[in-house]
Amino acid sequence: MIEIRPLQPEQWELHKRLRLAALADAPHAFTTQLADVITRTDAEWAAITARRVGDPHGVTYFAFVQDEACAMASCVLTELGAELLAVWVAPTHRRQGVGHALVEYARQWAQARGVDTLVVGVYADNVEAVRFYMHAGFVATGAERFAAHTQQRPILLLAMPLNQESNHHVAVA
């Protein structure tokens, strides 16, 4: 069973470990690069974690399988609706429903806040991720944006209308 748990203030070490693992494993998938965050001190990680936990407009959360943290994501309220960010699943847990559980948690979180659209930005050349999000229920919006340091790599904006019921169920802690 996949269990989703929101980030807690005392989990800064877990937050650090999973975020660094994500950036090392899939540098092509994120606008943040490992070199940008690898030198953060433990105190900085603790402060970042505390800010994330205290943010009333966002949530950072982990997926656990057999009590092992194997994935993470964030969801924040924006002018677009709710935006899914920093999604990563450990290679050992891919294609096992963990990514879908992360999306479902974001969907439920956004709906609980009265948002009618969940959006995600994904690099256009990250074909596997685009395919995953489309399979998860997102549709292309036709909109693109660019990260400051990757002006040549368009980020596709995909959207999921939240007025439809999902078949997925996640244990939310």
Give the burial string for 149-170 (b: 16+ CB within 10 Å, else e): eeeeebbbbbbbebeeebeeeb
**Domain spanning 2-172: CATH 3.40.50.10540:** no
CB within 8 Å of 116: residues ≥ 6 apart:
81, 161, 162, 163
> 66: which 2 tokens?
């057999």
Q: What is the pLDDT of residue 165?
A: 53
Q: What is the pLDDT of residue 149?
A: 58
What sign does the CA torsion over 52, 101, 2, 91 have?
negative
Domain boundary assignment for the chain: 2-172
DSSP 35: H
pTM score:
0.88
Per-residue pLDDT of the chain (173 residues), as tens digits, is: 999 999 999 999 999 999 999 999 988 888 888 888 889 999 999 999 999 999 999 999 999 999 999 999 999 999 989 999 999 999 999 999 999 999 999 999 999 999 999 999 999 999 999 999 999 999 999 878 776 655 678 889 999 999 755 444 444 44
> 70: which 2 tokens?
């194997």
The CA distance from 116 to 151, in Å, is 30
